[in-house]
Structure 1
Amino acid sequence: MAPTELATSLQAIMPPPAIDTRYTAPAASERTVSRVTVICPDCRNMAPKLIHDFASGDLLCADCNTVIGDRLIDSRSAWRSTAKISRQAEEDARMLMSLQTIATQTHDTTSSTSSQSDSGSNSPVATGKDAILSRALRSRTHGRAAAQRHERQERNLVRAFNEISAACATMDLPRIIDDTARDLYKRVDAENLHRGKSIDAIIATCIFLACRQKSLPRTFKEICALTKVPRKDIGRTFKFLKEKLGAEAGPMSSDDLMARFCANLSLLSSAQECAVMLNQMAKQRDTLAGKSPVSIAGACIYMASHLVGQPRDAKVISHVAGVSEVTIKNSYKLLFADRHQLVSEEMLRVSPMASIEFLPTP
């Protein structure tokens, strides 16, 4: 057999050799393609200085500013902003890092200690770095609680001021009453006297005190009708604040109430003038000694309105004055019994229609 035929026969019989596919060297053409040389098409510079403009995605030639390539992808590491992290969280993170640094520095010099509780049982105590972090975090918590408490007090103070202003505006009280009532409430808040007290009662009492101090008194009934606070609560709070603040309430006289009561009853000036004169004469003779200013004012107005021919019913006057009809009539009985000494010629000259005969018999 010829050598050529023998080789062919052996090749057909023997299996093909195994090929290691773990690594295959790149072909020569592939190696040539992977090595790319960039040439500027304008200045034909074989080694141009390249500028990577990632903002626009362009590859520029530094010599002639020609765009060589585009759609570049910025493969550099990018820092993502944490805009959603709150300012408080950032402050906490910085504080915690600083505390950890301090704790690490002082950890070697801090010895481990333990203490026994008051009940006699042993309990572990944080020491070293943990103790420093624990104290700092407790301090931070207390600081936040204090800030929240202060903010809450400020909100309550603003609310009270707004209610005082609204009440004073409803009653047509001057600005000085508003300011005085605010000052009183601020003192109550500063000394924490409202603890356990009704805020509405405190506000009503501050307005009542302010009116008394500025000689523009209002009755308990008027304040009650305005603030919807029971009279008993205002009276109790009034005594409490007067004692604690040492606030001078200012005397409330019947003369201070005459003008307002007469205006609310639509009486003429002659009736008001006669009522004031009756009040002065009753004081000189102690006719109504021991009676409240509101009762005295109501009784004098009742008598003066009939005296000058502008009669007003005791029930209507009691509604305006805030006292009972019986109280006004009982005080009027005392005035009527002393009418000849109280009614002077000067009173009768106030109005041409004035006559003592117009007075009703109690």
Structure 2
Amino acid sequence: MICPDCGLVVGDRVIDVGSEWRTFSNEKSTKDASRVGAAENPLLEGGDLSTMISMGTGSASFDNDGKSIYRNRRQMNSSDRTLMMAFREINQMADRLNLPKMIADRGNMLFKQVHEGKSLKGRSNDAIASACLYIACRQEGVPRTFKEICAVSKVSKKDIGRVFKLILKTLETSVELITTGDFMSRFCSNLALPTVVQKAATHIAKKAVDMDLVPGRSPISVAAAAIYMASQASEDKKSQKEIGDIAGVAEVTIRQSYKLIYPRAETLFPEDYKYPSLIALLPQQ
């Protein structure tokens, strides 16, 4: 590869990544004439270097009834077939949740470990795939709620929760505990709340947990209650229904958590909050 202006040799060992055959104008078709297949998948037993025998066109390719003799004869074992279906399901769920490929790959690896262990035999592959994606999200630091996974899955929230506990016990793996801060930025962003309200909500939730004002409450419901309190003390007020739709929490759950933190509202807000005068006007429920 030589520069046409100055004659500089840019490269002398260039690999041609194009097709291996010349394609003339009258021979163009939808098929690419290159012999390059799909990328090798290290999670499959044979690296996905399986063979597909295509349907023939000659008379020897059909039996007396006219049916194809080599109909979809593929050299892939049942284990790889199960893995392929599970990987496809995990990737589809990750796409629906707008999750990066890195998380889907970790979910695929977890499913392969569970599948090879054969300790969850009899359990639905869809439930295992959903639980693996849930664990992958938590391990990568971008946790999703069971309801969010359930919304893009084919199984119930209860089944995902059961399989999730079994996988943790079987693989002897661990996940970080969920905190209110894990969901705060995403919920506030979806509610179109300004940064100052998000910071206040994060401070309220953290201080409420540190002061043990919300014992036994889930981090999601505490985060939702903190967002409700911070928004009501600002100019961008959000109702409990709006917050509940985004967080996947019932209004009554937000109301119960809010009642626990309301009496200490003045001590929960950060000292430099932008709207201190509105704190006294907070709703009681």
* Matching residue of 1:262: 188
Q: Give the one of 253, 276, 279 matched to 1:356.
A: 279
* Matching residue of 1:121: none
In 1, are the aligned partners of 2:130 and 2:153 still within 8 Å (CA)? yes
Map 1:44-63 → 2, pairs under 5 A: none
Q: Residue 84 of structure 1: CA displacement?
A: 5.5
Cα deviation, 1:191-214, whole Å, max 9, x if unaligned, reads: 123421111111110000011111
* Matching residue of 1:142: none
Number of matched pairs = 215
* Matching residue of 2:232: 306
In 1, are the aligned partners of 2:200 and 2:269 still within 8 Å (CA)? no
Q: Equivalent residue of 2:77, what SS?
A: helix
In 1, are the aligned partners of 2:90 and 2:107 still within 8 Å (CA)? yes
**Counterpart-to-counterpart distance in 1, 2:203 and 2:277:** 14
In 1, are the aligned partners of 2:232 and 2:238 still within 8 Å (CA)? yes
Cα deviation, 1:335-356, whole Å, max 9, x if unaligned, reads: 111112212422x23xx58620
The alignment status of 1:288 with 2:211, answered yes or no, reads no
* Matching residue of 1:207: 133
Q: Equivalent residue of 1:201, what SS?
A: helix
Runs of 4+ residues over 3 Å off in structure 1: none
Q: Which runs of 5+ in 2 are unaligned?
A: 1-58, 62-73
Inter-CA distance 270–331: structure 2 relative to 1 (3 Å threshold): same
Q: What letter corresponds to residue 244 of structure 1 in structure 2? A: T
**Counterpart-to-counterpart distance in 1, 2:213 and 2:169:** 32
Q: What letter corresponds to residue 200 of structure 1 in structure 2? A: D
Cα deviation, 1:278-332, whole Å, max 9, x if unaligned, reads: 1222133121232111111111111111112211111221222122211110100
The alignment status of 1:238 with 2:164, answered yes or no, reads yes
In 2, are the aligned partners of 1:303 and 1:332 still within 8 Å (CA)? yes
Cα deviation, 1:84-139, whole Å, max 9, x if unaligned, reads: 69xxxxxxxxxxxxxxxxxxxxxxxxxxxxxxxxxxxxxxxxxxxxxxxxxxxxxx
Larger Rg: 1
Q: Equivalent residue of 1:300, what SS?
A: helix
* Matching residue of 2:199: 273
Cα deviation, 1:42-84, whole Å, max 9, x if unaligned, reads: xxxxxxxxxxxxxxxxxxxxxxxxxxxxxxxxxxxxxxxxx96
Cα deviation, 1:139-198, whole Å, max 9, x if unaligned, reads: xxxxxxxxx996111112111111111211111112221111011001011112342111
Cα deviation, 1:260-291, whole Å, max 9, x if unaligned, reads: 11122121222111101112221331212321
Inter-CA distance 223–158: structure 2 relative to 1 (3 Å threshold): same
Q: What letter corresponds to residue 108 of structure 2 in structure 1? A: R
In 2, are the aligned partners of 1:275 and 1:303 still within 8 Å (CA)? yes
* Matching residue of 2:145: 219
In 1, are the aligned partners of 2:203 and 2:270 still within 8 Å (CA)? no
* Matching residue of 2:123: 197
Q: Structure 2 length as normaliser, TM-score? A: 0.70
Q: What letter corresponds to residue 287 of structure 1 in structure 2? A: L
**Counterpart-to-counterpart distance in 2, 1:256 and 1:319:** 18
In 2, are the aligned partners of 1:164 and 1:207 still within 8 Å (CA)? yes
Q: What letter corresponds to residue 85 of structure 2 in structure 1? A: R
Q: Which runs of 5+ in 1 are unaligned?
A: 1-82, 86-147
In 1, are the aligned partners of 2:240 and 2:251 still within 8 Å (CA)? yes
**Counterpart-to-counterpart distance in 2, 1:235 and 1:322:** 16
Specify which structure has the higher proportion of helix: 1
